[in-house]
Amino acid sequence: MSVWFRRGGFRLLPAAAGALLFSFTAAAAEMAKRTSAGKPPALAEAKAFVEEAEARILKLGEAANRAGWVQSTYITQDTEILAAKANEELINAGVEYAKKATRYDRLKLPPDLARKMRLLKLGLTLAAPANPKESEELTRIAASLESAYGKGKYCPEGKEKCLDIGEITKIMAESRDPNELLDVWQGWHTVSPPMRPEYERFVALANKGARELGFADTGAMWRSKYDLPPGDFTKEVDRLWEQVKPLYLSLHTYVRGRLREKYGDAVPERGPIPAHLLGNIWAQDWSNVYDLVAPKEADPGYDLTQILKAKKIDEKEMVRYGERFFVSLGFDPLPKTFWERSLFTKPRDRDVVCHASAWDVDNVADLRIKMCIDITAEDFTTIHHELGHNIYQRAYNTRPVLFRDSANDGFHEAVGDTIALSITPEYLVEVGLLEKAPDPSKDIGLLLSSALDKVAFLPFGLLIDQWRWKVFSGEVTPGNYNQAWWELRREYQGVAPQEPRGESFFDPGAKYHVPANVPYTRYFLARILQFQFHRALASTAGCAGPLHRCSIYADKEAGKKLDAMLRLGISRPWPDALEALSGQRQMDATAILDYFAPLQKWLDEQNKGTPAGW
């Protein structure tokens, strides 16, 4: 799963953690004088304050992004320190501005100015404490945790070669030897126990910073960002999960049965599926076990991975396909600097953070992606996802600095995936990757393959932050980090480890977004929104066929509607942006059910007489 900014930080800019006592311009200095004199604020003062904040945040954000790019693409102790220092300067400026913005809470402001004040107060994913030593410690820990993940390797006993995450991912995807799968699964999870002491301290310091801003804890601060009270947002997420849960249960029941046929009693007839047998380190994407669960005579007739390799399409050309899709909708090509500055392949001479991410380094036009691309169908889709971030970033880059973000963070994640839903057989024919689209009778296989990615992910998209919200609130203590993690994985995903995982382990840290402090609910929301966006855009494009066969490729009207939403940035509450594209003001998971309706019917037929749930 990709991330559009490098790690947790001031939400409106792709950066991380830290502290700085910032200097004021003349206007801000005047504001400080009035504040110290106890005079009530005036509108002109509020405007000057926001102008100062936007200018300062833009400058510090660019510096943090540049240092962060180097740290992610040249992992050394020195680059960690440089990135931590730059992030230190950005985040504490954000904290200071957030605190000072409360001075204007009772002042009647024009709508745009009032929204900017609100975003200043809610724009953090990590709030550094006011104490300089604690702030420095937090930024150091944040950089150290991410780098520990990036450098993580499993060194099998008795073998000379250590395995990095890319090599382990390949084994998890391709091996059908349960012993080998268990070995590398357990091996990757050895990278995270050393993170545990630092993560405990990280939580304590992050919570202290959040409380200084008036939030109960860091989790409450995260949930406050969605133009809804935190409690209402939690209910909204629960509502969406309940809409899609029956489809997930049908998929889980079917997959468990097919895996039992392959692996025997290692997979229970009832109960959770062993986490190492689902083709992915985190069991968040089951598409790699498609060959084990595919319906008979449902071969779609093509393998995109093999097509890409047979046509000798390299990493950069895969990115060109993604670019051409957006151009077909009426968007401009990517700038020349994108091709000069992006990282497309893993260097042989150094460690890098291979996890895919999209960057707008100067928050204007310096667009890049960082990705160790493999020539696979999965990465073909991921590239479209990452470019969606870049296209979104460029669409809102003329907005004031505080409005340069997606309507909510789920929107940013959804845009690229919406385009990926248009990678239909008909589209592959149109761009010359496929000679002929398969007959619609093969659609169950295509839908099942998609569901193993899109639907299987949904509970995982929820539980990461469910765990962190409980950790930040203190409901989950350091003494039961791992126990709580596996309880949630069983409750939501219906997966479990082969053997008990005690508190000597720190399995949450084996997932990038935990040590990198990247909020994760956005990915769940993105799964919901991408289908809602796709249904709306397909309707605009006049697609009359089944939703899963609709492609908006080369439809300029659909492109115009998408662009209208993207250009809003975060200048309006997200329901306004959603309405601009879909005509709806509420997130709606029924679009997923519409998309997978033929599959759900088929799954329920296959599952007759089979116990569901765990």
Helix (H), strand (E), coil (C) string for 21-73: CCCCCHHHHHHHHHHHHCCCCCHHHHHHHHHHHHHHHHHHHHHHHHHHHHHHH
- Find the Cα–Cα–Cα–Cα dihedral 192, 194, 195, 196, rounded to 10°: 100
Please state whether beta strands 367-370 and 163-164 pair in parallel, antiparallel, or not at all (unpaired).
Answer: unpaired
412 belongs to the catalytic site: no
- Label the pairing between strands 495-496 and 273-274: parallel
Q: Which of 413, 510, 526, 536 is catalytic?
A: 413
- How far apart (Å, rounded) are the C-alpha atoms in residues 203 and 8? 13
> Is there a catalytic annotation at residue 523?
yes
Q: What angle do CA 391, 397, 401 make, to 5 degrees?
A: 135
Pick the catalytic residue: 386, 510, 526, 534?
Answer: 386
Pair type for strands 357-360 and 273-274: unpaired
Q: Which residue in this structure is represented by tokens 């203190």?
A: 474
Maximum distance among all alpha carbons in the chain?
Answer: 79
The token duo for 209 is 């910073």
CA distances from 264 to 73, 133, 512, 583 (A): 43, 56, 32, 49
Q: Which of 481, 523, 553, 595 is catalytic?
A: 523
Residue where the block lists tokens 């089951």: 286
Residue 548 annotated to the active site:
no
Instruction: Please pick, among 252, 389, 412, 548, the residue that the annotation labels catalytic.
Output: 389
Residue among 252, 384, 412, 513 flagged as catalytic: 513
- Active-site pick, 355, 412, 534, 548: 355
Give the active site residue among 189, 276, 385, 534.
385
Residues 94 and 135 sit within 8 Å (Cβ to Cβ): no
Residue recorded with tokens 């791992």: 482
Query: Could you tell me which of 316, 322, 442 has the C-alpha nearest to residue 388?
Result: 322
Secondary structure, 3-state, 106-162: CCCCCHHHHHHHHHHHHCECCCCCCCHHHHHHHHHHHHHHHHHHHCCEECCCCCCCC
Q: Which amino acid is at 436?
A: K
Looking from the CA of 40 toward its CB, the CA atoms found within 13 Å total 6
431 touches 321 (CB < 8 A): yes
CA distance 546 to 226: 32
Report the candidate in 329, 288, 308, 271 with the shortest Cα–Cα distance to residue 449. 288
356 has catalytic annotation: yes
Residues linked to residue 154 through DSSP beta bridges, in sequence order: 163
Q: 398 CB contacts (<8 Å, ≥6 apart)?
A: none
Structure tokens at 283: 């069991």
HSE at residue 244, side-chain half, CA atoms within 13 A, is 33
Instruction: Give CA separation, 407 vs 243, 462, 522, 583, in Å.
Output: 23, 20, 11, 15
Contact 463, 489 (CB under 8 A): yes
Of 67, 356, 496, 516, the catalytic one is 356
Catalytic residues: 355-356, 385-386, 389, 413, 513, 523
